[in-house]
């Protein structure tokens, strides 16, 4: 078989690329190593009915994959820990048809103008590869607008005074605010902050043939049982409706076949273990910022920056317990955010100076979080006090949290490579993550953590604490980051000496291999990466097909 393009990875990036390419008339094979629980296998234009309000299935039994027993990853803080210090779950963004889009609660913020020009805006930082992107917010804005319509984003233009400019309104108005968020946003406003309804890819009204969200509460970590989340089910349904795309689920791409400066196709291993080669004019790699560099390395790509500059978001999590209950099991987990911590204001500059840095930057702060009783129960000790704690629920129903997705600076030593000894069940070397936060992240967290606590206290918290992920040395928290936001491992740029792909996502030197996920990010910003990677994928695929927006 031969296709115009093989797309490796069916998450938001791959689905977007496939959408643009099939609409341009291309034949596309979409490959995903995970199973298809998103679309009806007998009619891929219809959603499946496999998702459910089931904590055991989604949180304890790896329904969306990857199962760390058969697809482990390894982790170490640095080379001083040897080959690795941890084997198992490392940033398990889902491995399933629909990818990372399936499990998220669908917050899809845009970046700000300065996020594309961090070096120009604030200057360099020692031991970090701070750089400008090879494109600007203005270049990307039409794509942001286009993909917001495609996946269906609910939000309120003008509600966030710190937002970048936008060419039009959101396709939908925001959904119902969580009760707790009505209290935490009021507290934040009293302290001079600027909370606003989080731009969310969950329908507030029926949209694009999908129903409005019915606030079931099983949002973050869960596939949507009624497919009110638009990302990326909406895109994949469009793709398969063209009749020009096929899906190979449960199929592992083990190699991109390269001959000189051209890729000729891919080697695939199907669900039955049988290998086959598929020819294609283009290979689009959208496997996520951990699996994408793994595939490039398994394929023998030799650029020394492949896998380097791995960024996560450094999470600072302030937790408060309250006398009152918030019924956090109703609604979309997180309905409000504030962006004030992305500003480099006088206080942030003072904190930076104290840490010996020119500047520090935090990130978007999420109000609230999911409500999961099994997760809660495991936090409490066993014995006579267990049921009493579960009833009073200080760690779930009387808890309110503020989570800052802190900007994580790119460092060449933070990287994905192939583990020298650990294999997956198919026999291939797994991805090894080497990651240690830069002192910028630590200083930003130290600066903003107490400011998050201040909001919780203003809201009436009777007890508060701050944790970070990754945990800092000496803390009880794991050094393995829990953030599912991964970026930067095939960074884009115009100079092949300092970047892996060009501004259109094409791998320098092998230009019919295009990376269409957050691997291409130059810096991490303090915002969830999905909408930006989707906009970039749309732009890259438009360039491939000769159909850029506006033509």
Summarize as ranges the residues that interact with other proteins (CB under 8 A): 35, 49-57, 60-63, 67, 69-72, 87, 175-179, 182, 213-218, 225-226, 250, 271-273, 324-325, 327, 329-331, 371, 373-374, 377-378, 382-384, 386-388, 390-391, 393, 397, 422-425, 427
* Residue 501 DSSP class: B
- The answer to whether 91 and 483 are in contact (CB under 8 A) is yes
Nearer of residues 48 and 93 to other proteins, judged by Cβ: 48
Measured distance CA(101)–CA(167) in Å, rounded: 25
Residue 321: beta bridge partners? 399, 463
* Min separation Cβ 90 and other proteins, Å: 14
* CA atoms of 166 and 163, how far apart (whole Å): 8
CB of 255 to other proteins, least distance (A): 19
d(CA 12, CA 181): 28
Provide the minimum distance between the beta carbon of 195 and other proteins in the complex, in angstroms, as a whole number: 15
* Minimum CB distance to other proteins smaller for 55 or for 141: 55
Q: Which is nearer to other proteins, 135 or 226 (CB)?
A: 226
What's the sign of the alpha-carbon dihedral 374, 377, 383, 388?
A: negative
Residue 330 or residue 353: which is nearer to other proteins going by CB? 330
**Vertex 108 angle, CA 448 and 155, to 5°:** 100
How buried is residue 515: exposed, middle or buried, by Cβ count under 10 Å (0-12/13-18/19+)? buried
71 vs 502, which CB is nearer to other proteins?
71
Q: What is the dihedral of CA 377, 381, 384, 386, to 10 degrees?
A: -20
Looking at beta carbons, which pairs linking 299-304 to residues 24 or more positions away fall under 8 Å?
299/255, 299/256, 299/257, 299/258, 300/255, 300/258, 301/256, 301/258, 301/507, 301/510, 303/496, 303/500, 303/507, 303/508, 303/509
Shortest Å, Cβ 270 to other proteins: 10
When the beta carbons of 192 and 383 are compared against other proteins, the nearer one is 383
Q: Residue 160's closest CA among 445, 457, 364, 368?
A: 364
Query: Shortest distance, CB of residue 387 to other proteins, whole angstroms?
Result: 4
Question: What minimum distance in Å lies between the beta carbon of 327 and other proteins?
Answer: 8
In whole angstroms, the minimum distance from the beta carbon of 432 to other proteins comes to 13
Residue 39 C-beta: closest distance to other proteins, Å: 13
With contact defined as beta carbons under 8 Å apart, do 491 and 309 qualify?
yes
- Smallest gap from residue 133 Cβ to other proteins (A): 37
State in angstroms the smallest separation of the CB of 113 from other proteins: 33
Close Cβ partners of 405 (under 8 Å, ≥ 6 residues apart): 313, 315, 363, 364, 365, 366, 483, 485, 526, 527, 528
Alpha helices per DSSP H over 205-287:
233-241
Instruction: Label residue 214 exposed, middle or buried (CB < 10 Å: 0-12, 13-18, 19+).
Output: exposed
If the CB atoms of residues 62 and 309 are measured against other proteins, the closer one turns out to be 62
Nearer to other proteins, 65 or 307 (CB): 65
The answer to whether the bond into 35 is cis (omega within 30° of 0) is no
Q: What is the DSSP letter of 110?
A: P
Residue placing its CB nearer to other proteins in the complex, 56 or 497: 56
* Cβ nearer to other proteins, comparing 324 with 478: 324
Quick count: other Cβ atoms within 10 Å of Cβ 349? 15
For other proteins, the closer of residues 2 and 173 by Cβ is 173
CB of 535 vs other proteins, minimal distance in Å: 30
Report, in angstroms and rounded to the nearest whole number, the Rg of the chain calculated over CA atoms. 22
């Amino acid at each position: 078989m031969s296709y115009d393009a093989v797309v490796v990875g069916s998450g938001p990036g791959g689905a977007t690329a496939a959408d643009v390419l099939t609409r341009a008339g291309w034949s596309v094979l979409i490959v995903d190593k995970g199973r298809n629980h998103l679309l009806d296998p007998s009619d891929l234009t219809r959603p499946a009915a496999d998702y459910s309000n089931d904590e055991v299935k989604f949180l304890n039994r790896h329904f969306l994959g990857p199962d760390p027993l058969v697809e482990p990853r390894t982790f170490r803080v640095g080379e001083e820990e040897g080959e690795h210090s941890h084997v198992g779950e490392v940033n398990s963004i889902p491995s399933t048809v629909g990818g990372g889009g399936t499990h998220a609660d669908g917050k899809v913020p845009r970046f700000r103008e300065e996020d594309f020009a961090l070096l120009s805006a604030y200057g360099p930082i020692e031991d970090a590869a701070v750089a400008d992107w090879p494109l600007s917010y203005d270049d990307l804005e039409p794509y942001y607008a286009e993909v917001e319509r495609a996946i269906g984003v609910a939000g309120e233009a003008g509600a966030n005074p710190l937002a970048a400019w936008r060419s039009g309104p959101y396709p939908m108005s925001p959904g119902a605010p969580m009760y707790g968020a009505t209290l935490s946003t009021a507290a934040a406003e009293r302290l001079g902050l600027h909370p606003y309804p989080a731009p969310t890819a969950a329908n507030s009204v029926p949209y694009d043939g999908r129903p409005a969200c019915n606030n079931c509460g099983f949002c973050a970590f869960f596939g949507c049982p009624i497919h009110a989340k638009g990302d990326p089910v909406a895109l994949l349904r469009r793709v398969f409706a063209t009749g020009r795309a096929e899906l190979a689920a449960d199929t592992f791409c083990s190699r991109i076949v390269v001959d000189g400066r051209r890729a000729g196709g891919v080697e695939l291993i199907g669900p039955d273990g049988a290998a086959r080669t598929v020819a294609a004019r283009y290979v689009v790699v959208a496997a996520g910022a951990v699996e994408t560099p793994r595939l490039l390395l398994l394929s023998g790509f030799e650029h020394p920056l492949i896998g380097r500059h791995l960024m996560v978001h450094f999470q600072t999590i302030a937790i408060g317990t309250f006398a009152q209950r918030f019924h956090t099991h109703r609604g979309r987990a997180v309905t409000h955010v504030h962006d004030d911590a992305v500003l480099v204001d006088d206080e942030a500059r003072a904190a930076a100076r104290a840490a010996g840095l020119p500047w520090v930057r935090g990130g978007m702060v999420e109000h609230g979080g999911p409500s999961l009783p099994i997760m809660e129960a495991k936090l409490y000790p066993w014995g006579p006090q267990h049921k009493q704690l579960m009833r009073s629920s200080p760690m779930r129903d009387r808890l309110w949290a503020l989570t800052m997705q802190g900007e994580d600076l790119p460092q060449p030593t933070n990287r994905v490579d192939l583990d020298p000894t650990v294999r997956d069940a198919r026999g291939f070397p797994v991805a090894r993550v080497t990651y240690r936060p830069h002192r910028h992240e630590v200083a930003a967290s130290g600066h903003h953590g107490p400011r998050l606590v201040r909001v919780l206290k203003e809201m009436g918290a009777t007890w508060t604490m701050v944790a970070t992920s990754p945990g800092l040395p000496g803390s009880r928290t794991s050094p393995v980051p829990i953030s599912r936001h991964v970026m930067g491992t095939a960074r884009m740029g115009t100079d092949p000496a300092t970047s892996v792909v060009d501004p259109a996502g094409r791998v320098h030197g092998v230009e019919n291999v295009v990376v269409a996920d957050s691997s291409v990010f130059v810096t991490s910003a303090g915002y969830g990466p999905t909408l930006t990677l989707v906009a970039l994928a749309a732009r890259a695929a438009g360039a491939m097909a000769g159909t850029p927006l506006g033509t």
